[in-house]
A and B are shown apart, each in its own frame.
Chain A
Amino acid sequence: MSRIEARFAQLRREGRGALITFLEAWDPDHDTSAAMLRGMPAAGADLIEIGVPFSDPMADGPIIQAAGKRALRAGATLARTLALVRDFRAGDAATPIVLMGYLNPILSYGTERFCTDAAAAGVDGLIVVDLPAEESDLLAPLAARAGLDIIRLVAPTTTDARMPHVLDGSSGFVYYVAITGITGTRSASGDELAAALPRIRRVTKLPVAIGFGVRTPTQAAEAVRVADAAVVASALIDTMAATLDTRGHATETTVPTVLAGVKALADAVRAARAGM
């Protein structure tokens, strides 16, 4: 059983939804992002998504664009992102790690070598934003052979007719992009989410995570009442960015502030289904 599958099975037994937290690798520097990553499970993150910095993040809003820029300036590469995971894995064998990024750095690294190295580093799943189902054969067979889950995005624009095609060959969980738009901009309403989920559930038994626009503990709680997991990304990066000094460097409040933010989200997610 994969780490992702095991984690969702465990949470189902506990009767609660998952909090998936996000950080951009090497934002604002290696040591700070490594410390945040190490601290997130204890603060309540059930799964962790690590953004792989890319020069042209077309699906991302200003907050994650800025994070990627800081990370690249600090020296981030795909190889260094894998090293970050390897170091984390040495101290945590259970928390699933999902890499989220764009295709070109993976192509540049070499798809086969990347899948082998990512699995060896302790990566559990991949979200490749600009690799839709139509182009997935470039990576999916290699990922499957290496034991990596391919996590597909489903959007409000994905029609019912298209849904089985999009989810064919996906594993781990399904990532529902709650809005038509880029990251960190607006949020979907509870009603919109409640209407969207049955469309996905009809097609797959995989757990469903809701991302894009989940910012506050209240919104995270709302998300896990209808779905299996809530992904919080831009809001945590916003929290982190507010602690940086004028040159964009980390301060001593950076790590504790972000982890406090994770804890607040986790508390809300854990309490969400009480009394349901």
Chain B
Amino acid sequence: MNTPIPGSPLPNSLRTGPDERGRFGEFGGRFVAETLMPLILEVEAAYRAARADPSYQAEIERLLRDYVGRPSPLWFAERLSEELGGARIYFKRDELNHTGAHKINSCVGQILLARRMGKTRIIAETGAGQHGVATATVCALFGLPCTVYMGATDVERQKPNVFRMKLLGAEVRAVTSGAGTLKDAMNEALRDWVANVHDTYYLIGTVAGPHPYPMMVRDFQCVIGEEAKAQLQAATGRLPDVAVACIGGGSNAMGLFHPFLDDRSVRLVGVEAAGDGLDTERHAASLSRGRPGVLHGNRTYLLQDADGQIQEAHSISAGLDYPGVGPEHSWLHDIGRVEYAAATDQEALAAFQLCTRTEGIIPALEPAHALAHVAKIAPGMDRDAIVLMNLCGRGDKDIFTVADALGVKL
């Protein structure tokens, strides 16, 4: 056996997936119609070639540094830690990225890939609108036409982001099929792609979809965990005891967790949206309450009925409102390396306000779910314990939703 290259995954590493079929254990794969299959294979070949090209990596680094504003800071949330009275809480501040969330990390890598492939039109799906805004942003930067599919329900509850996308020159198509949320937007984007395979690149926002997307988006988002690991090392000289992130499709969580997968002392906790509660019918907790199936090109945990029909997810946070989850999370769930918890709408709202008051940071409703879990576990931990949380988006887009939930008229 060859000696491992320094810094490369160890032989017993959890970071070597997916296999050549795009699988993480039994999850993942390429479950798409034959019309798309040749294109999926082309995306994979182009990505593998790009990844080995130093000029591609250098261009990503330049854009992340000078355009996105990376590295994002690591912030010791001292007042919040005192308020909760336990572990020291650190925020990885990906809400300070250009466009206000982690989504742009992957958009930068993917738009450069689309250009290398000679594609001249970009499509995307979006839930909260953060991925739509990030995609519209990189399309404006590179002068490419952009169509964003967004569920009609989400268009209504995320109006500021819809307007942002339009300002950036994107066409926003409201999708009325199904419940008009992220799942339906993804169906419609896939339909567009099938009809326009010759010139169109589908810029998927999360670590789901057919292989190579879960791997590719994860690779681009790993910058979150890599930076945080180095920053925490510099600030405290050690690893966190727990790392926490919210899970919709799971891209920000995968980006935070992946660089820590082989550090077995670090507990990793993904927080799903429990909506009205896990034991109600209105939640988005596919890992806690779903079972494996196939949707949107990959095998993963899904919310589905006894007949295999996909159920609608429910969450106050549009970005977590998805009945599936990235396949690598399904695998990490089954092997027990990552714990998956859940926070309700009400818990997220409380955490949203707690963060705003104690730290002067208005978080998006998505990471407010992660914070709700931190607020549950931190008080029971030692004062020298460290909790690292990904603050993956800022809350400007959510102020109308929050006002409405709190009964405030703006």
A interface residues, Cβ below 8 angstroms from B: 54-59, 61, 65, 72, 77-79, 102-109, 129-135, 152-159, 162, 166, 177, 180-182, 185
Contacts and interface: CB of A to CB of B under 8 A. Distances in A.
B332 interface: no
B198 interface: yes
A58 B38 contact: no
A134 B304 contact: no
B33 A155 contact: yes
Contacts of B187: 56-58
Given A157-B37, A180-B196, 16 more contacts: A55-B178, A55-B311, A56-B310, A59-B35, A59-B194, A77-B307, A105-B308, A106-B308, A108-B304, A108-B307, A109-B308, A130-B32, A135-B31, A153-B34, A158-B37, A177-B33
B329 to A, nearest CB: 18
A130 B191 CA distance: 13
Interface in B30-46: 30-39
B73 interface: no
B194 A158 contact: no
Interface in B176-204: 177-178, 183, 187, 190-191, 194-198
Nearest to B37: A132
B206 to A, nearest CB: 16
Contacts of B39: 157
B31 A131 contact: yes
Contacts of A162: 37-38
A58 B310 contact: no
Contacts of B309: 54-55, 72, 104-105
B295 A181 contact: no
A154 B33 CA distance: 9
Interface of B: 21, 29-39, 177-178, 183, 187, 190-191, 194-198, 292-297, 302, 304, 306-311
A61 B188 CA distance: 9
A155 to B, nearest CB: 4
Contacts of B197: 157, 180
B307 A180 contact: no
A152 B30 CA distance: 16
A79 B305 CA distance: 14
Contact of B297 (A79, A108, A130, A185): A130
Contacts, number: 116
A108 B35 contact: no
A74 B307 CA distance: 14
Residue of B33, B39, B310 ringed by the most chain A CB atoms within 10 A: B33
B33 A56 contact: no
Given A55-B309, A180-B198, A155 B293 contact: no
A132 B34 contact: yes
Contacts of A133: 34, 37
Contacts of B38: 157-159, 162
B294 A104 contact: yes
Contacts of A135: 29-31
With most chain A CB atoms within 10 A of its CB, the pick from B21, B31, B34, B190 is B34
B86 to A, nearest CB: 43
Contact of A180 (B35, B177, B292): B35
A132 B191 contact: no
A132 B30 CA distance: 8
Contacts of B293: 104, 107-108
A235 to B, nearest CB: 18
Contacts of B297: 130
Nearest to A69: B177
21 contacts: A55-B178, A78-B308, A103-B294, A104-B310, A105-B309, A106-B308, A107-B292, A107-B308, A108-B308, A109-B308, A132-B31, A135-B29, A135-B31, A155-B34, A157-B35, A157-B39, A166-B34, A177-B35, A180-B194, A181-B194, A185-B195
A131 B311 CA distance: 21
Contact of A134 (B21, B190, B196, B302): B21
B33 A130 contact: yes
Contacts of A104: 293-295, 302, 304, 308-310
Given A159-B38, A162-B38, A103 B31 contact: yes
Contacts of B33: 58-59, 129-130, 132, 153, 155, 177
B195 A152 contact: no
A106 B293 CA distance: 10
B191 A134 contact: no
A55 B37 contact: no
Contact of A56 (B29, B32, B183, B196): B183
B399 to A, nearest CB: 32
A133 B32 CA distance: 10
B310 to A, nearest CB: 5
Contacts of B310: 55-56, 104
Given A103-B31, A132-B30, A78 B195 contact: no
B193 to A, nearest CB: 10
B30 A134 contact: yes
Nearest to B177: A65
B35 to A, nearest CB: 4
6 A-B pairs with least C-beta separation: A108-B308, A105-B308, A181-B195, A155-B35, A55-B309, A77-B307
Contacts of A157: 34-39, 197
Contacts of A177: 33-35
B291 to A, nearest CB: 8
Contacts of A59: 33, 35, 191, 194
Contacts of A156: 35
Contacts of B34: 132-133, 152-155, 157-158, 166, 177
